[in-house]
Amino acid sequence: MYDKAKIWVEGGAGGNGCISFRREAHVPRGGPDGGDGGHGGDVVLVCAASKRDLAALKGSKHFRGGRGSHGEGSKRHGARGDEREILVPAGTQAEAVDGSLVDLVEAGQRAVVAHGGRGGHGNKRFANSTRQAPRFAETGTSGEEGWIELRLKLLADVGLIGLPNAGKSSLLGRLTRAAPKVADYPFTTLSPVLGTIESDERQAIVADIPGLIEGAAEGAGLGHEFLAHVERCAMLVHLVELTPLEGDPEANYDAVRSELSSYGAGLDRLPELVVLSKRDLLPQEEVEAALAEWRSRLGDAAIAVMAVSSATGDGLAPLREKILSTLPETAPARPESGPRQPAEFEAEHRVYRPAGEGGYSVQREDDGAYRVTGRGVELLFERHDIKNEEALAYLEQRLNEIGVIAALRAAGFEPGDDVRVGEHEFELYP
C-alpha cells in the first residue's frame, strides 16, 4: 500500500482583460467594449470509490489547472480554465497551498488544493463619467502553486496493535474474511490490512496495523506511516503475546503504549481492549493466572482483558462479541476541511482595510526607497501595466483612495522618491 505522495499543484493563470472599442457603421464613438478574461482552473482532489491507495501519484508528479481565455471585443468574456481533477481514495488528508486542511472520507467529496488565478477586467469595467474611453485593462493573475503532501489514513473502526509477531495477522484472519500474510517471523505485514466483523445489529471494520517497535513515534522502522492509520480508529485491540521470544509481556505492552503516547493525536486516550494472544501455548491455569494479574494491573484503564488462540479458536467468539458491544458509536472527531477565506481585492467591489488589519504597511528601506507591502496593493500592481500611462494614473488614484499616499507622506516620502511594490519599482509624483 502506498499511503504517502508528494505532488506539485498549480492553479491555471487567469486570462487578460481586453482593450477594445465598439466600431460600427453609423455609431460614432461607440465606447469601450473589452470583455473580461476567464478565471484559471482549480486543481481539485476528488475522493473516488475506485481508488485504494496513492500508488498512481508516487514520484514527481505535476498537476496544473487550465489557463483562462483572454477577453475579447464586443464585451465577450473569456472562458474559465478547465479544472484539473486528482482522484484519491477515501481517507486522504492534505494541506492545500493556502494552508487549509483537506480531509476526504466519502466518495464524491471534492476539495480545491490550488485555486486558479483571477481573470483580468476588460476596459469596459473602467469606464465612468470622467474616464469615458479607458485604454487599459487588467492582466490575469497567476494561480496558487506549491508542493503538497498527501497522506492516506485508513477509515477503520478498530485498530489491532502490538509488537511484531504478536499474532495480529492470524487474529484478523480468524475474526474476519481478510487474508493477511501470516508467517513465523516478525514484520510479515508491511502494510495495513482491513477486515470486517458483523452481527445482526452492527458492523465494524478492523485494521491490522503492522508491528510497532520502540521509537516508532520518532519514525523508527515505518512508525509514522503505521501510527497515522490508528488516528481514525474509535477503539484499539492491543495484542500482547503471553510467551514472547524477546522481553516479557508487561514490558512489551508498555513499549507500545509509550509509542502511542509519544506520537500524540490522542491515540493513548482511545478505548483499549487488551488481548493476551497464543493462549494455547500455556496450561489453562497459567492463562487464568495471567488474566487475573493483567486485570488487576490495568483496572479501569482497559475495557477488558481477554485471552485467545488464533490457532485453536479459543476465545474468538467472546472477543468478537466484546468488540461489537463496546465499540463507540462514533469515531473521534476528524478535522474538517478549512473554509477558504475570500482573497482581498478580487471582488468587483473591492474592500480596502486599514493597516494593521491585513491591508498594507509602509517602510523606508536602507537606500531611502519606500516599500509598500500588502497582498491587496501588490495584486493591484500585478494586474496592471505600469508602463501604460492611463493604467498608472488609475493606480495612483487607487493608492490615494485607500490611503497609501497618505501613509507614504507620514513616513517621510517626498515627490520623486522611489517606491517599491512587489517586484515593481518606480518614481512617484503624486
2 and 144 assigned to the same domain? yes
Domain end marker among 326, 345, 379:
326
Tell me how far apart the alpha carbons of residues 22 and 121 are, in angstroms, rounded to a whole number. 17
86 and 130 assigned to the same domain? yes
Residue 212: predicted pLDDT: 55
Domain end marker among 129, 152, 175:
152
107 and 173 assigned to the same domain? no
Domain end marker among 93, 122, 152:
152
CATH of the domain at 415: 3.30.300.350
Residue 356: predicted pLDDT: 42
124 and 7 assigned to the same domain? yes
104 and 71 assigned to the same domain? yes
Q: Give every CB contact of residue 49 below 8 A, 6+ residues apart in sequence.
A: 90, 107
Residue 298 lies in a domain: yes
179 and 270 assigned to the same domain? yes
Tell me how far apart the alpha carbons of residues 125 and 144 are, in angstroms, rounded to a whole number. 25
| pLDDT per position as a tens digit, 341-351 | 433 334 444 44
| pLDDT per position as a tens digit, 202-247 | 778 888 876 554 443 344 444 445 566 677 788 899 999 998 877 7
Asked if the model's pLDDT at residue 68 lies above 90, the reply is yes
Mean pLDDT value across residues 50-59: 78
Sequence-ordered strand ranges (E) for 235-318: 235-241, 272-277, 305-307
Residue 407 lies in a domain: yes
Tell me how far apart the alpha carbons of residues 86 and 148 are, in angstroms, rounded to a whole number. 13
Residue 293: predicted pLDDT: 94
117 and 211 assigned to the same domain? no
- In the chain, the number of structural domains is 3
Sheet containing 305-307: order of strands: 193-198, 203-208, 158-161, 235-241, 272-277, 305-307
Residue 188: predicted pLDDT: 40
CATH of the domain at 10: 2.70.210.12
Tell me how far apart the alpha carbons of residues 366 and 345 are, in angstroms, rounded to a whole number. 30
| pLDDT per position as a tens digit, 75-112 | 999 999 999 999 988 888 898 998 888 988 888 899 99
143 and 249 assigned to the same domain? no
98 and 208 assigned to the same domain? no
Asked if the model's pLDDT at residue 337 lies above 80, the reply is no
CATH of the domain at 207: 3.40.50.300
| pLDDT per position as a tens digit, 365-409 | 988 899 999 888 888 888 888 888 888 888 888 888 888 898 899
272 and 225 assigned to the same domain? yes
- Percent of the chain at pLDDT exceeding 70: 82
Residue 106: predicted pLDDT: 83
Residue 343 lies in a domain: no
4 and 112 assigned to the same domain? yes
Mean pLDDT value across residues 165-178: 80
Q: What number of residues does the chain have? A: 430
Residue 27 lies in a domain: yes
- Are the CB atoms for 151 and 4 separated by under 8 Å? yes
Give 173's pLDDT tier (boundaries 50, 70, 90).
confident
221 and 193 assigned to the same domain? yes
CA dihedral over 165, 93, 89, 233, signed as positive or negative: positive
Residue 315 lies in a domain: yes
Residue 227: predicted pLDDT: 65
* Stronger pLDDT, 201 or 296, i.e. the higher one: 296
Residue 341 lies in a domain: no
Computed over every residue of the chain, the mean pLDDT equals 81
Residue 197, helix vs strand vs coil: strand
| pLDDT per position as a tens digit, 254-287 | 988 887 888 767 778 889 999 999 999 999 999 9
Domain of residue 206 covers: 162-326
Residue 353 lies in a domain: no
Asked if the model's pLDDT at residue 34 lies above 90, the reply is yes
Residue 175 lies in a domain: yes
Residue whose C-alpha cell is 471582488: 347
Tell me how far apart the alpha carbons of residues 4 and 8 are, in angstroms, rounded to a whole number. 14
Residue 86: predicted pLDDT: 93
